[in-house]
A and B are shown apart, each in its own frame.
Chain A
Amino acid sequence: MKIELNAQQKKDQATFRVFVSEEIVPHAERYDQEEHIPSELIAKLAQRGYLGATLPEEYGGRGMDMITYGLLNEELGRGCSSVRSLVTVQNMVAQTILKWGSRHQKELWLDKIASGDVIAAFALTEPEVGSDAKNIETTATPAGDSYIINGHKKWITFGQIADLFLVFGQCDGKSCAFLIEKDAPGLSMEPIFGMLGVRASMLAELHLSDCQIPRENLVGGVGFGFVPVALFALDLGRYGIAWGCVGIAQACLEACIHYTSQRKQFGVYLKEHQLIQQMITDMIVNVKAARLLCYQAGYLQELGDPNSIMEIMIAKYFASTMAIQAANDAVQIHGAIGCSSAHAVQRCLRDAKVMEIIEGTTQIHQIKIAEFGYQAYANN
């Protein structure tokens, strides 16, 4: 057994780290406060191939393996969870089209997604449907060579600037997925502001009112929108989020190492206080544990192993609950300055809370992981 990055992965990791430190970290508080990611940064992400990170080179992608893609998500998450969300969602939709799209859909969209000419969004959640995603209320009605879509989508990441939406609905009670362009007749977008965390992820509501789209925009066939199309996308999304949480916690750890080495109380640096050391130790150990779970999940996903789905859920569950604990301790260690909008740790705490909700809440993960346990460990 060998757990070690190869030379290319190490090189890519170093490149990601420099990019994030130079291009994202200095501006992340501003993105958060303005609830906006500037198009110049999106262009830089595209230029470096991060928007098509997982797509094959034949579609203009970087063809990253799952470990390298995980490292990218960690570094982006260390800098800004909103930016990380953009890359995660873009790759979720890209991979879903690559896997379950028609040849025409692949040829039409994938190179545009990889180049950043098209920003893609994942539109599953609705005002009345979150965790209970099988029971979405958006409907698709066949009409000649078209489908007529009616429904309401909410909390759609980067919905404000997306050019293409992967929208989920029901057709005669069967789940289905569609690609819908932003200027499709009957589709309107409403920005959402004032979120607790991941505030620059430019959320939107979508209103689909007799939205007419060609039949060829169906992805994966009627009856297969939830399984496998949506779950395939969510699996990759969860993987990116798990790594992003490692990044959040790593950012908190590094901030705390720096701050406790600079600030004195009671005549000694904070790092000399044992109760501070306890929190630092927990951060170090938990970040390492979460990262190892992510490596394990990524390794299995790269192999296409059926166990990868559950291992990704385990990694996401641990990493997201770990990240909020690390961020909470980081704010505690920083005291008043940690509560100030001038410091990244308060943003990390708010962002970490969101990680416990998206792509499956902590509670949904607890149910699924327990079910797995009763299946895997019974009669052993």
Chain B
Amino acid sequence: MEENKAEIRAFLSRYFRNHNWQDDEDIFASGFVNSLFAMQLVLFVESEFAIKVENEDLKLENFRTINALAHLIERKTASPTHA
């Protein structure tokens, strides 16, 4: 879990330099996010953690914070049909 969070944090820092992201910080409320980044975030989560984000995962709560993303990844990787 912590390793995944570190990877997510590293991804965010590629796009938002000079910002120290907290695990519970609302990414979408930060004012940094545009639609392109939102798409890139989905692709990052899928390619980096070998999961498929599907329609039932489309809830803002799943993507809102580093913690939420880490939980989504953990839940999807635990599922036998994740890839």
Contacts and interface: CB of A to CB of B under 8 A. Distances in A.
Interface of A: 99-102, 134, 219-221, 223-224, 226-228, 231-232, 235, 303-310, 368, 371-372, 375, 378-379
Contacts, number: 54
Given A305-B47, A306-B47, A102 B55 contact: yes
Contact of A228 (B11, B34, B42, B44): B42
Contacts of A378: 17
A303 B44 CA distance: 11
Given A100-B55, A378-B17, A228 B38 contact: yes
28 contacts: A100-B54, A100-B55, A100-B58, A101-B55, A220-B58, A223-B60, A224-B58, A227-B35, A227-B38, A228-B42, A228-B58, A231-B35, A231-B36, A231-B39, A303-B47, A304-B43, A304-B46, A304-B47, A306-B41, A306-B43, A306-B44, A308-B43, A309-B40, A309-B43, A310-B36, A371-B34, A378-B17, A379-B17
Interface in B17-62: 17, 34-36, 38-44, 46-47, 54-55, 58-60
A368 B58 CA distance: 25
Give the interface SS of chain A, mostly helix, strand, loop or mixed: helix
B26 to A, nearest CB: 16
A184 to B, nearest CB: 21
Interface residues of B, number: 20
A232 to B, nearest CB: 7
The listed residue with most A CB atoms (<10 A of its CB), out of B15, B17, B58, B59, is B58
A307 B59 CA distance: 23
A220 B55 contact: yes
Contacts of B54: 99-100
A309 B46 contact: no
Contacts of A226: 35
A378 B18 CA distance: 11
Nearest to B15: A375
A379 B17 CA distance: 9
A332 B32 CA distance: 47
B39 A235 contact: yes
Contacts of B47: 303-306
The listed residue with most B CB atoms (<10 A of its CB), out of A102, A227, A307, is A227
A307 B47 CA distance: 11
A375 B19 CA distance: 13
B12 to A, nearest CB: 12
Contacts of A101: 55
A219 B44 CA distance: 22
A339 to B, nearest CB: 40
Contact of A309 (B17, B39, B58): B39
Given A228-B38, A379-B17, A305 B55 contact: no
Interface string B1-21: 000000000010001010000
A306 B55 contact: no
Contacts of A375: 15
Contacts of A100: 54-55, 58
A228 B17 contact: no
The listed residue with most A CB atoms (<10 A of its CB), out of B11, B15, B36, is B36
A260 B15 CA distance: 49
Interface string B44-83: 1011000000110011100000000000000000000000
A378 B35 CA distance: 20
A221 B58 contact: yes
A221 B39 CA distance: 16
A221 B43 contact: no
Nearest to B35: A227
B46 A221 contact: no
A13 to B, nearest CB: 27
Contacts of A235: 39
A224 B38 CA distance: 11
B37 to A, nearest CB: 9
A221 B55 contact: yes
Contacts of A231: 35-36, 39
Contacts of B35: 134, 226-227, 231
Contacts of B36: 231, 309-310, 368, 372
